[in-house]
Amino acid sequence: MKRSLIQFCLLLGILCIIKLKSTPDIKPNRLKTIYGSAFVGSWDWKEKGKWLEFGIDIKQVADTLKGQLCGITLNGNRVDCAAEDADRSFSVPLPKQNSFICTFTSAYSMEQGTASITFDGQSLIWKIIKAPNGEYYFPKLARLTKIRAKHH
């Protein structure tokens, strides 16, 4: 019995070594691609009970994520959205993990703030770390869902 147990442990050890050698290494650039692409797309959030809508549109350009923010409130009387042909609200190097911190610009006041954006596997979590000095119409904290492309 003791001999069988030793043989089993040796066999198990050999199988583990073979498995480790055959497992491909994930290169840092591959991680950047995995996490970077997770953020790409259009994301939306609406506050229940109040008329507030917030969206983030993120595109990947080379090794950079560029995001456009849009906040609308007060029945459309306050719109804080970067123009589509304007520079993006934020631009960051492709993240190596599931979150990043960005400096963003409010299109309403043209003031800058700082936010963290985290991908939790399904949603984006937006959290303002430092609010812009002027007026802005983005939520302090929001869980955004990805807008699925409509198929015709």
Report, as an integer, the average pLDDT of 75-89. Answer: 81
- Helix (H) / strand (E) element for 88: namely none
Q: What is the pTM of this model?
A: 0.73
Of residues 132 and 5, the one with the higher pLDDT is 132
Q: Which domain range does residue 51 map to?
A: 28-146
Residue 78 lies in a domain: yes
Residue 5 lies in a domain: no
Residue 9 lies in a domain: no
Residue 17 lies in a domain: no
**Tokens 């147990």 appear where?**
5
Report, as an integer, the average pLDDT of 127-133. Answer: 97
> Using one digit for the tens of pLDDT, what is the confidence trace for 9-26?
333 343 333 333 433 333
Q: Is the dihedral of CA 95, 96, 97, 102 positive or negative?
A: negative
Is the separation of the CB atoms in 67 and 82 below 8 Å?
A: no
Residue 2 lies in a domain: no
pLDDT class of 85 with cuts at 50, 70, 90: low
**Number of domains comprising the chain:** 1
Instruction: Identify which of 105, 100, 106 has the alpha carbon closest to the alpha carbon of residue 126.
Output: 100
- Cα(69)–Cα(142) distance, integer angstroms: 13
Phi, psi angle pair for 112, to nearest 5°: -105, 150
DSSP three-state, residue 15: helix
Residue 77's domain is classified under what CATH number? 2.40.128
- Cα(147)–Cα(49) distance, integer angstroms: 21
pLDDT class of 6 with cuts at 50, 70, 90: very low
Which pLDDT value is given to residue 34?
55
Residue 7 lies in a domain: no
Specify the length of the chain in residues.
Answer: 152
Q: Which residues of 120-140 are buried (b: 16+ CB within 10 A; e: fewer)?
A: eeeebebbbeeebeeebbbbe
Q: How many Cα atoms sit within 13 Å of 68 on the Cβ side?
A: 13
